[in-house]
Amino acid sequence: MADHYEVLGVERDASPEDIKKAYRRLARQLHPDVNPGEDASERFKLVTHAYDVLSDPEQRRRYDMGGDQSPFGGGGAAGFGGFSDIFETFFGGGGQGGGGRGPRPRSRRERGQDALVRVTLDLGDVVFGTHRDLEVDTAVLCETCQGACTQPGTSEVTCDICHGSGHVQRTVRSLLGNVVTSAPCSVCQGHGTTIPYPCGTCQGQGRVRARRTVSVDIPAGVESGLRLQLPGSGEVGPAGGPNGDLYLEITVETHESFSREGDDLVATLEVSMPDAILGTNTSIQSLDGSVDLEVRPGVQSGDVLTIKGRGITPLRGSQRGDLRVGVHVVTPTRLDHKERALIEEFAKRTKAPKPRLAEHQQGMFSKFRDRFRH
């Protein structure tokens, strides 16, 4: 029994790439289409089987351990399934694959491209959601031919060159015999049909450019950078193919008084020093109406007043966030003589301590960070 390594002319420690190169060289020399002799045919079988064994790691391991000595055993060819696989290795496949079925013609109908529209919202739109009618410049179905691409009363005709297959074949001679290749027909561009009388409105495309209005309900809770997908609202495809999708890219404008943190709205309330000392009741104008606020006596800068349910409705949910109002006590910078005298009298009566470092309180600075983050 001939040794597989000797048949291929390689060392026993040859790499898989060396084994493949040796087999290809011998196969080109011994293939029956190139060398029809009886001896060459037998050698070709031995070379092919040797490669089948040594190209498969498991079969090679068993062979090196003394197994698989039959000339054509081991369950058949592992590296190649026969002469057709050899052709595929050297030339990338024969003419018509898929069990004898030739390539099919390419449809003119294709899916349309997706479209992107940028939408700018104010913060109030984010709180409650909004409705928009958007003008979109896109491809729409041709009203003249309704996507048929032909003049009314006419139709496509079978291509005279490829006879409707959409492909043409040619034979290439090689060392291993004749190989049939297939390529798209240059006359019909692979469609299998031609259009002798294209539609004059769309020039045979089945669609035209136009502006159309897209009505969309934008949900509450969106934020800048978010893209909303509207399936089937993009441009129509060639030859009346299905529409692509429309994407809305959201940008939220900055509000002069409110900012967003998660599902909460954040604002700052300026309180005069007398109101901070004595307390007061006030109202503020939120994004959905007036809101009453109680400023308790002795309120400090950085304190946060929370109004439940006056924030943003989440994108996937129904319970609104809160409105959080951070207090900023405004210290007067200009006092007349009488006002200054009153403050000095107040200081004497209260015997206020001198400024000093306070004991650290976890979360004290986070209140300021929350208010001034945006």
In this structure, the chain runs to a length of 374
Detail the residues annotated as belonging to a binding site. 142, 145, 159, 162, 185, 188, 199, 202
Cβ atoms of 337 and 328 within 8 Å: the answer is no
Sheet holding 304-307, edge to edge: 259-261, 264-272, 323-330, 304-307
Which of 80, 72, 63, 85 lies closest to 5, judged by CA?
63
Q: How far apart are CA 293 and CA 306, in angstroms?
A: 9
Look up tokens 């913060």; give the residue: 123
How far is residue 230's CA from residue 247's CA, in Å, rounded to a whole number?
6
Q: Are strands 177-184 and 167-174 parallel, antiparallel or unpaired?
A: antiparallel
Please answer whether residues 226 and 250 qualify as being in contact, where contact means their C-beta atoms are separated by less than 8 angstroms.
yes
Choose among 86, 84, 108, 107: nearest CA to 96: 84
Q: Using the 8-state DSSP alphabet, how is residue 22 labeled?
A: H
In the annotated binding site for Zn(2+), the residues are 142, 145, 159, 162, 185, 188, 199, 202
How far is 205 from 239, CA to CA, in rounded Å? 6
DSSP state of 239: G
Cα separation of 161 and 341, whole Å?
A: 106
User: 345 to each of 211, 282, 340, 342, 349, how far by Cα in Å?
Assistant: 74, 28, 9, 5, 6
Distance CA 53, CA 2 (A): 13
| CB atoms closer than 10 angstroms to residue 188 | 26
Identify the burial level of 311 via C-beta atoms within 10 angstroms of its C-beta, where 0-12 means exposed, 13-18 middle and 19 or more buried: buried
> Residue 214, Cα to own-chain centre: how many angstroms?
23
Rounded Cα distance, 218 and 273, in Å: 43
* Single-letter code of the amino acid located at 84: S
